[in-house]
Structure 1
Amino acid sequence: MVNRFTSVSTALTVKVVGIICILSFFVDFLILLLPFQPTDRVWQINLATALVDRGIVPLVGLGLLFTGYWIENADAGSDRPQGIDLRFPAVILSSILGLMFLLIFPLHLNNVNQAKTQTLNRITQEADQAEAQLNTRLSQLQAQLNTEQGKAQLDQLRTQTKAQFSEILKDDQKYKQALESSQIPPNIKELLKKAKTDPQALDKAIEQQTDIQTLRTQQLSQVRQRREEAEQQAKDTAWKSGLRIGISSLLLSIGYIIIGWTGLKGMGAVQGGKPRATTR
C-alpha cells in the first residue's frame, strides 16, 4: 500500500514539474514576442537566441511528463481513476517545437549574415568619414602653417617642447621619476631613453611629431587599425552566434522530432505504428 502510494505520488509530482517546465517556456515565449517587430532583423536574432537558450526547458518538461506516465503505468495494480491523458498533445507539441527549431537554424544563419554585412558597411562608412574629416582638418592646419605666423608658432612649439625634454634629461632625479611615472605614456618614456644616449634623437622625434605628413600617416593608421578591429569583432560575433545558435537549434529540433515521431508511432498515429494496449 505504501509503495503504491509512493509511486502514485511520484508520478504526479514528476508530471506536474514537467507541465510547469513546458508552460514556463510558453510564458517566456509570449513575453519575448513583445514588442512585436517581425520585420526587424535584430528583433528576429534576439528572439531566436532567447528561444534556443530556453529550448532545453520544454524538452526536460516533456521528459518528466513521459517519465511520470511511465511510473504510473508501471504500477499495474493501481485502481486509481485516470485523469486527462496528455501524452498525445505532448507528442504533437514536441513535433511542432521540433519543426520550429529546425526552421530557426537556417533563418538565424541568414539573419546573422545579413546583420554582419550591414555592420561591416556601417563600419566602412564611419571609417571613410573619419579619414575624410582627418584629411580636411590636416589640410587646414597645413595651410595655416604655410603662413609666416604659422611657421613662427610651429618653431616656438618645437623650441618649448625641446626645452621641456632637455630639462628632464639634465636632471637625473626628474629623469628617473619620469620613467617610473604611470602618467607618462610609454612612447614618451622610450623617447627619453633614446634621447639620453643620443641627443639628436630628440630633435628628430620633435620634428616628426610636428610634421603634417607624419601626423596624417600616424592618424590614418590609427583610424584604419580601429576599422580592422571593429570589422574583426563584427565577424567574430557573427560566426560565434551563428555557430552556437545554429547547432543548438539543430540539436533541439532533432530531440523534439525524435520524441514526437516515437510518441506518434507508439500510439499508432503514423503509418506502420501499432497502438499499445495499456495493461491494468
Structure 2
Amino acid sequence: MTHSSPPTSAPKEILPSPLAAISLKLVGAITILAALIDFLTLLLPPQFGNRAWQLATTTQLVDRGIVPLVGIALLFTGYWIDSSLGRVPRRVSLALDARFWTCLLSCLLGLMFLFTTVLHPNNVRIQSREALSQVASEATEATSELEQRLSADLNARRTQIAALLENEEQLQAAIASGELDEAQLAQIERFRNNPEELNNFLNSQVGEAQNQLQTRIGEQQKEAEARLKAEALKATVRVTLSSLLLTFGYTFIGWQGLRRLLAMVN
C-alpha cells in the first residue's frame, strides 16, 4: 500500500508593506524641505561682498549638504517600494510627478556644490594671504615699538649713570645705601676715566636685548604663519573634497533620474 506525500506549498513571496513606502516618502520629503529651509536660513541676509560670510556660509552648506541627499534617497526608496507593489501609475506629464522635481532639485544642488568647490579654495587662499600680511604687519609694529622702548631705556640709563658721575654726593649715597656693588662701582670708575666705554657698554647691552626680543618676535611670527597655513590647507582639503563628493552624488542621481523619467514618458 503506497502512501502519497502531502503536496508541498510554494513559499509565499514577502512583499514590502505599503506603509513602509508611505513612511519613506514622507520622511524623505520632510528631510528635503527641512534641509532647504536650513539652507535658505544660512543664505539670509546675503552678504556676498563679505569674504568671511562667504567662507562661513559655504563651509556650513557643505557640512549640511548630505542631509538633502539622504532625503532624496529615502524618497526614491519609497517610490521603489510602490513600484514593486504595482502602485505607481504611469504619468503623462512630468510636471505632476514629484520625482521629476526631486531630480531637478538634485541637479541644482549639484551645480551649487560645484560652485562651492571653486569658490571656497579661492576665498581661503585670499583670506590666508590677508592673515599672513596682518601677521607680518604686527611683527613690524612690535619691532618698531621694541626699538623705541630700548632707545628710551638707553637714554634713561645713560642719564642715570651720567648723573652719578657728575654728582659725587649722589654716588656716595648710592654706595652707602647698597644700590651699587663693587663690580658696578668699578664700572663707574672706568666710565669716569673713559666716557667712550660708557657708550660702548650701553650700546652692547641694548643690542643684546634687542637681538633676543627680535628673535622671539621672529619665532612667534613663524609659528603664527605655520598655524595659518596649516588651517588654510585643512579647510581647503576638507571642504573641497566634500563638495566634489556632493557634486557627484547630486548630479548622478538627478541626471539618471531625469533620464529614466523621460524614457518612461516617451
TM-score range normalised by the length of the shorter chain: 0.7 to 0.9
Q: Where do residues 110-121 of structure 1 align in structure 2 (5 Å cutoff)?
A: 110-121=122-133
Tell me the amino acid that sits aligned with residue 264 of structure 2.
P
Which residue in 2 is equivalent to 1:196? none
**Is the 8 Å Cα contact of residues 79 and 88 (structure 2) preserved in structure 1?**
no
Deviation at 1:151, TM superposition (A): 8.5
How much has 1:79 moved relative to structure 2?
9.3
The partner residue of 1:72 within 59, 82, 103 is 82
Do structure 1's residue 275 and structure 2's residue 232 form an aligned pair?
A: no
In 2 relative to 1, CA 79–260 (structure 1 residues): closer, same or farther, beyond 3 Å? closer
Superposed displacement of residue 137, structure 1: 0.6
Larger Rg: 2
**2:43 counterpart letter in structure 1:** L
SS of 1:57's equivalent? helix
Q: Aligned match of 1:105 in 106, 109, 117?
A: 117
Q: 2:44 maps to what in 1?
A: 34
Give me the CA root mean square deviation: 3.0
Structure 2 counterpart of 1:225: 219
Q: Distance in 2 between matches of 1:107 and 1:151?
A: 66
For residues 153-178 of structure 1, the C-alpha deviation after alignment (integer angstroms, 9 at most, x for no partner) is 9x97785xxxxxxxxxxxxxxxxxxx
Post-superposition offset of 1:225: 1.0
- Any residues of structure 2 matched to 1:233-248 within 5 Å, and which? 233-248=227-242
| 1:14 counterpart residue number | 24
Q: Distance in 2 between matches of 1:109 and 1:158?
A: 63
d(CA) in 2 for partners of 1:132, 1:158: 33
Q: Measure, in 1, the Cα distance between the counterparts of 2:85 and 2:243.
A: 36
**Structure 1 CA distance for aligned equivalents of residues 135 and 207 of structure 2:** 25
| 2: CA distance, partners of 1:146 / 1:230 | 37
- Partner SS state of residue 106, structure 1: helix
| Identical aligned residues as a percent | 39
Matched to 1:90, the amino acid is T
Q: Structure 1 residues 119, 150: closer, same or farther in 2, change over 3 A?
A: farther
Unaligned segments of structure 2, at least 5 residues: 1-13, 165-170, 182-200
How many Å separate the matches in 1 of 2:88 and 2:123?
A: 54
Three-state SS of the structure 2 residue aligned to 1:37 is: coil
Residues 169-205 of structure 1 show CA distances to partners (whole Å, capped at 9, x for unaligned) of: xxxxxxxxxxxxxxxxxxxxxxxxxxxxxxxxxxxxx
Q: More deviation in 248-257 or 228-237?
A: 228-237
Query: What amino acid maps onto 2:128 in structure 1?
Result: K
For the Cα contact (< 8 Å) 1:7–1:72, is it kept in 2? Answer: no
After TM superposition, list the pairs within 5 Å mapping 1:151-230 onto structure 2: 211-230=205-224
Q: Note if contact 2:139-2:217 (Cα within 8 Å) is conserved in structure 1.
A: yes
User: Mind listing any 5+ residue stretches in structure 1 that lack a counterpart?
Assistant: 160-206, 269-273
* TM-score normalised per structure 2: 0.75
SS at match of 2:17: helix
Question: CA separation in 2, counterparts of 1:255 and 1:158?
Answer: 80
